[in-house]
Structure formats: C-alpha cells, structure tokens
Amino acid sequence: MFENLSDKLESVFKKLRGHGRLDEKNIEEGLKEVRMALLEADVHYRVVKRFIEEIRSRAMGQEVMSSLTPGQQVVKIVNAALTELMGVRHEDLDLSGSPPASVMLVGLQGSGKTTTAGKLALWLRKKGRAPFLVPADVYRPAAIDQLKTIGSQIGVPVFDSAPGEDPVAICIAAKAAAFKNRCDTLVLDTAGRLHIDEELMGELGRIKEALRPSDILLVADAMTGQDAVNIAKSFDERLNIGGVILSKMDGDARGGAALASRSSSPASARS
C-alpha cells in the first residue's frame, strides 16, 4: 500500500541525489514533489504542511548546503522525518492489570472488527497468551455465528452468547468464564453502526465501565482515507482509545490515513 508513495519519493530522491550542488531552488523543487507525492497518497494537507516545513528548516541549514553530497543529506533528512512521523516509539498492546485482560475492538459497521478479532487472537496466541473471543454484537443476526466460525477456523475458543442478550452482561459473563476455558485474554468484538451515534457510544461506554479493558482499539477501514482520522477522534473523545488498527490494508488504499492518524492523535496507530 505504501508502494506508490515510496516509488514517487524514490524518484524525487534520485533527482536530488543527481545534483552536484544544491541551492534553495533545487531544494524547493524537491520539496514540492515530496509534497505532491504525500498529498496524492491521501495524507492530510495539514500533516503534509507541517512535514514540509520541518524538512525545509532542516534542509536549508548551512551544513547541508556546504556538504559534498547535499542531495544525499536532504534524502536523509526526509527519511528521518518520515520515520519520526510514523512514530519512533513503538507502543505495544496494553495487557496490564489483573488477568483476565480484555482488549475491546470498536468501530463503524463493516470496518473489519470481527475479522480483526480473529487476527488479533492469533497474534495474541503467538505472544504466548490464551485468547478468548467474545461476541458482544447482538444486533446483526449472523454476527455471533461469524465469530464462532472464525474461532473454530483458528482454534480459539469463543464465548457462547446468544442474539438478544445484553452486550454488557455477555462481557461480564465471558470474563467470569475465561479461566474455565483456560483463557487469559478477552477479545471483545462489539457492534458497529453506520454512523457514530449516542446509542452506540453509550453501549460501548457501558462495556468499558463494566470490563475496564486494558486496551481499546479502533478498527478503521484503510479505504476510508482521511475520514479515518475524524472517526478516530470521535471514538477517542468518548472512549479514550489506545490505538487504531487499519484494516483492509491489502486493498488499494493509499496509506495516507496511517500517517495522519499517527500524527493527529496521541493514541498510536497500529497496523
């Protein structure tokens, strides 16, 4: 997904490296192309603006201009700035607190929560945890079966909830049943809505209250591009999310949302 962006940046870098000397004009031209490449990758214009300003102030320094390989220096600066933008700190999933730990997945309808719950369970198992999938989406008739199917495909136990039950009660009962099922980490698959509404947020808030999950992750469809940032902000305001999982990265999403979610939220973007 980042291939397009990196191809474009590579060609800008090639041009910059080709210059024996760099003057302000060369650098400005290079920056203009970096800016275009980022905007075409669907990175939010405010993120791009800040990013370009940062590179400009570092690149216009005397050391760069007078170095023997100014083009190389600028390329290094852009690389370093991109790495910083993506997050220098690596933040792990929070599984602290007395077991069983819970990780709550939230997100709009169809964003990929249920599928991600399965992927997360596999990831947790690789990390030595014993995951327990909890279907807390009681509205879509097939939602519980969907998670049960995923669970049986990957050999992860799924809490036995029934449609129509109260999602908060399901989560509480699942927590109580975790150890009996030899599990130490609950993955809560919650319901989605077409739009963010009070009812959804209220329900998610009640689950959060009751379970006190160690981490709450927003699952956002990478295809929603910049909207993912606004969605993340709304969920963060109400639930104080710990991170974002961008789903459907195998599609033809342009990647900008990843850079923008990382840049605009104190929460980390995980993918």
Ligand X SMILES: Nc1nc2c(ncn2[C@@H]2O[C@H](COP(=O)(O)OP(=O)(O)OP(=O)(O)O)[C@@H](O)[C@H]2O)c(=O)[nH]1
What is the contact surface with ligand X in residues (CB under 6 A)? 107, 109-115, 137, 140, 143, 192, 247-248, 250-251
Q: Single out the segment in contact with Mg ion by CB under 5 A; choices: 13-21, 54-62, 99-107, 109-117.
A: 109-117
Q: With binding defined as CB under 5 A, does residue 102 bind Mg ion?
A: no
Closest CB to Mg ion among residues 133, 232: 133
**219/120 Cα distance (integer angstroms):** 11
Contacts of 197 (CB under 8 A, 6+ apart): none
Q: Single out the segment in contact with Mg ion by CB under 5 A; choices: 28-36, 43-51, 80-88, 108-116.
A: 108-116
- Report the candidate in 135, 239, 137 with the shortest Cα–Cα distance to residue 196: 239
Instruction: Report the partner that residue 109 touches, choosing among ligand X, Mg ion, none (CB closer than 5 to 8 A by kind).
Output: ligand X
What are the strands of the beta sheet with 101-106, ordered from one edge?
A: 131-136, 185-190, 101-106, 215-221, 243-247, 268-270
CB of 96 to ligand X, least distance (A): 26
CB of 106 to ligand X, least distance (A): 9
Q: With binding defined as CB under 5 A, does residue 113 bind Mg ion?
A: yes
Q: Which amino acid, residue 98?
A: S
CB of 14 to ligand X, least distance (A): 33
**256/222 Cα distance (integer angstroms):** 9
CB of 196 to ligand X, least distance (A): 13
Residue for token digits 């933040």?
91
Q: With binding defined as CB under 5 A, does residue 262 bind Mg ion?
A: no
Instruction: Report the partner that residue 185 touches, choosing among ligand X, Mg ion, none (CB closer than 5 to 8 A by kind).
Output: none
Contacts of 21 (CB under 8 A, 6+ apart): 70
Instruction: Give residue number: closest CB to ligand X.
Output: 192
Contacts of 123 (CB under 8 A, 6+ apart): none
Which alpha helices (H) appear in 87-178, and where do they start and end? 113-126, 143-154, 167-177
Closest CB to ligand X among residues 97, 251: 251
CB of 191 to Mg ion, least distance (A): 7
Binder to Mg ion among 114, 214, 224, 263 (CB under 5 A)? 114
**133/117 Cα distance (integer angstroms):** 7
What are the residues binding Mg ion (CB under 5 A)?
113-114
